[in-house]
Structure 1
Amino acid sequence: MPDPARPDLAARWRRVGELARRRGPGARDPLDAERLSHLSGVEPARIPGVVAGTAPATPLERRVHQRFLRLRATRLDKHGREWPLAAIAEDFDAPGASLGPLNAGTGLPRLGHAAGVQRFFGVHAGFLLADAKSAVERALALSGAAAPEGPDGLARLSYLTGITPGDIRLTLDGRPPRIPLKEQVHQRFEHLRRTRLREDGHPHSLSAIARSFDASGQSLTRLAQGEGLPNLAAAAGIQRFYGVDGGFLLAEDTEALATALTAIEHELRCAERPEENPLLAVLRAHDVRSIVARAGRLSPRGWKSLADHLDDLLAREGQLGRPAGDDAPAAGGRTAEGEAP
């Protein structure tokens, strides 16, 4: 099977520490346990043991439960309160009661519900579940590479994300494809089987993949045929088997911390060389233009509703909302200077 070797967390920790020291005294500590926990979902008290490789493994059901509770505790609404289960579930058209077992730690959610929870809180959903824009932007950011150019660059992004080069180009043009979750998971599973081969050049069998998480090959047959979604444990096992990103809820502690440290390291290196990856800039520019173009047609009441929604979104991601008194622009969707915001 592929060898997702244990990330050398100690080495990554040292690199981040060295980059932090270059910034001099007074800068925020990038290795602060609370910040790492916020990014990774790993409890602060567990971080030293995870880095040292001495922390005991946490069963999937308990890990997903703990990370869900941590999302609710650290991504509060704009009033500083935990989001109700009903509000979270409503975002992906499910009843609040469907998240009851996850919240209580008595059962795992459906795969679609896990994707919805991660999308609601603005955390990465992992290889199988991330939407096209999130997957491409994350691959660009975490790879730390220069902007890929030409077919080879698109092929590299395709390998990292499981998205076809054509769909990556659409995503970079601000038109990310939106396909049903069942089809997306099937396509990305087939991409893994096609691009991460055995030593003899053949795809890994369904039985070999399933055995890695104590299941039968038949449990993956419907997924391979594009006829159904795997359960959460199978999705976690597939991603672990191929050594790809498991996402906030599913990643083992070592992987989750490694991903957080990689993101922090890239952030610190970019601070030393303040040059943004131009493809990331393209993605953001498309977002801004699209939002401004549509928001400019809103009434003052519509602006107030949009501002409230943005406050909610910022709160989910642990960021501050707008300053008091900035409820809406002047009538007609314009600022006092007469320009669209």
Structure 2
Amino acid sequence: MPAAARPDLASTWARVEALAERSGRDPAEVLSPERLSRLCGVEPTLVPRVVAGTAPGVPLCLRVHRRFLRLRATRRDKHGREWSLAAIAEDFRAPGASLGPLNAGTGLPRLGHAAGVQRFFGVYAGFLLADSQCAVERALAATGSGSGAAPDLGHLSYLTGMPPYDIRLTLDGAPPRLPLKEQVHQRFEHLRRTRPRADGQPHSLAAIAHSFHASGQSLTRLARGEGLPNLAAAAGIQRFYGVDGGFLLADDTEALATALAGIGHELETAGRNAENPMLAVLRAHDVRSIVTRAGRLSPAGWKSLADHLDDLLAREGVLVRPGAGLERAHPMAVPDDLKAAEGGAP
């Protein structure tokens, strides 16, 4: 089995502390257990024990259940209420009852439902589930590649399971969008191809499945691209190959290491680019076109768009300031520096 080195949380913690001090931030605020808990799903009281390596192990079913409850508790709707199971499941076209066992802690969701929950709340999805944008962003953070460095497409391909051409498309703001079943199949095959046995041959389905007490036949449909594994099998595959397990699946050490890596990358890059960060968003997503089209909406349509954006921000943990709703802004209002950067008003 490929050896997966455990993250050295103590050294990562010290590195982030030093970066915070150099950037003028309070390390206690940057590394507060409450903030880290929000990012990684580990209970605040457990964060110090995870760093020290003394936290108890938690079975996958209980861990996924607890993380789901924390998502609902910490990422509420714009009215401050927990999202209903029906509202969450509706986002990926499933009945609310399908999340009942997950919410009660009596069973694991299907892989597609787990992907939907993570997408709904805007948390990282892990190696098998991450969309192209998330996968590349996390690989760049892991390698410490800055905005001025030329990306190593081959290494990023190894880290993400994506072909170099797709990575280039993603970096250019046009990420490929594969159906989840095809994406998971491709990344599983990528793992088998790029992380072989000592003799250079791919690990057999039986060997992979045996690592999580299943039969090789349970992975046959995945290997053929004919179906998705269940959540426990997906967790086992990622653990076998030592790749990122995602918000719902990652154990506490991996989850906290992911959060610390993200914070460290944020602190390192914070002072490198002084331009308005919205400029990059505008260029990547053609915001002018979106605003122009929104300007053609009726007052009721504009308010509906504003309500939708408020809901989206709320469930990703971004608080909406009272009185700052988009319905109170002129639909064609664009900051002057954005207009200038793009050659004038829309």
Do they superpose with TM above 0.5?
yes
Letter in 2 for 1:256: A
Partner of 2:249: 250
Aligned to 1:299: 298
Looking at structure 2, the residues matched to 326 and 281 of structure 1 have their Cα atoms a distance apart, in angstroms, of: 21
Per-residue deviation, 1:161: 1.2
**1:183 and 2:190 correspond:** no
How far is the alpha carbon of 1:144 from its aligned partner? 1.8
Q: 1:173 Cα deviation (Å)?
A: 3.0
Query: Do 2:17 and 2:27's aligned partners in 1 also have CA atoms closer than 8 Å?
Result: no
Provide the residue aligned with 2:342 in structure 1: none
For the residues of structure 2 that align with 1:32 and 1:198, how far apart are their CA atoms?
Answer: 41
The letter for the 1-side match of 2:52 is A
Distance change >3 Å, CA 25–CA 100, structure 1 → 2? closer
- Following superposition, the deviation at residue 208 of structure 1 comes to 1.6
- Show the 5 A alignment for 1:210-289: 210-271=209-270, 273-275=271-273, 285-289=283-287
Is it true that 1:67 corresponds to 2:44 in the alignment?
no
Partner of 1:155: 154
Distance in 2 between residues matched to 1:74 and 1:190, nearest whole Å: 36
How far off its partner does 1:31 sit?
Answer: 1.4
Contact 2:212–2:233 (Cα < 8 Å) also in 1: yes
C-alpha distance in 2 between matches for 1:28 and 1:7: 21
Structure 2 counterparts to residues 103-122 of structure 1, below 5 A: 103-122=103-122
Structure 1: stretches of 5+ with no match in the other structure:
none
The separation in 2 between residues aligned to 1:178 and 1:29, in whole angstroms, is 37
Q: Could you say which residue in structure 1 is the equivalent of 2:206?
A: 207
Do structure 1's residue 173 and structure 2's residue 168 form an aligned pair? no
Name the structure 1 match of 2:57.
57
> Does 1:334 find its partner at 2:328?
no
CA distance in 1, matches of 2:148, 2:211: 34
Letter aligned with residue 250 of structure 2 = A
Conserved? CA contact 2:20–2:26, under 8 Å: no
Aligned residue type for 2:92: F
Q: 1:180 Cα shift?
A: 1.5
2 CA distance for matches of 1:299 and 1:60?
A: 48
Q: Residues of 1 paired with 2:88 and 2:210: CA distance?
A: 34
Residue 325 to residue 114, structure 1, CA distance change in 2 (3 Å): closer
TM-score by structure 2 length?
A: 0.89
Q: Which moved more, 1:309-318 or 1:91-100?
A: 309-318
* Cα gap change, 1:157 to 1:283, in 2 (>3 Å): farther
Q: Give the Cα–Cα distance (whole angstroms) in 2 for the partners of residues 186 and 37 of structure 1.
A: 31
The CA distance in 1 between the partners of 2:27 and 2:251, in whole Å, is 30
SS of corresponding position for 2:247? helix
Moved over 4 A (4+): 23-28, 147-150, 280-284, 336-341
Q: Which residue of 1 aligns with 2:20?
A: 20
TM-fit CA distance, 1:204: 1.4
Name the residue aligned to 1:5: 5
User: In structure 2, what is the equivalent of residue 318 of structure 1?
Assistant: 317
Are the aligned partners of 1:67 and 1:249 in contact in 2 as well (CA < 8 Å)? yes
Unaligned runs of 5+ in 2: 340-344
1:140 correspondence with 2:158: no
> What percentage of residue pairs aligned between the two structures are identical?
71
Separation (CA, whole Å) in 1 of partners of 2:335 and 2:24? 40
- Normalising by structure 1, report the TM-score: 0.90
Q: Describe the superposition over 1:74-128 as per-residue Cα deviations: whole angstroms up to 9, x where unpaired.
A: 0010000100000000000000010000000000000000000000000011110
Contact 1:329 1:336 in 2 (8 A): no
Could you report, residue by residue, the CA deviation over 1:135-187 in whole angstroms, capped at 9, with x for unpaired residues? 2222223332135987x722222221111122222223332222211111101
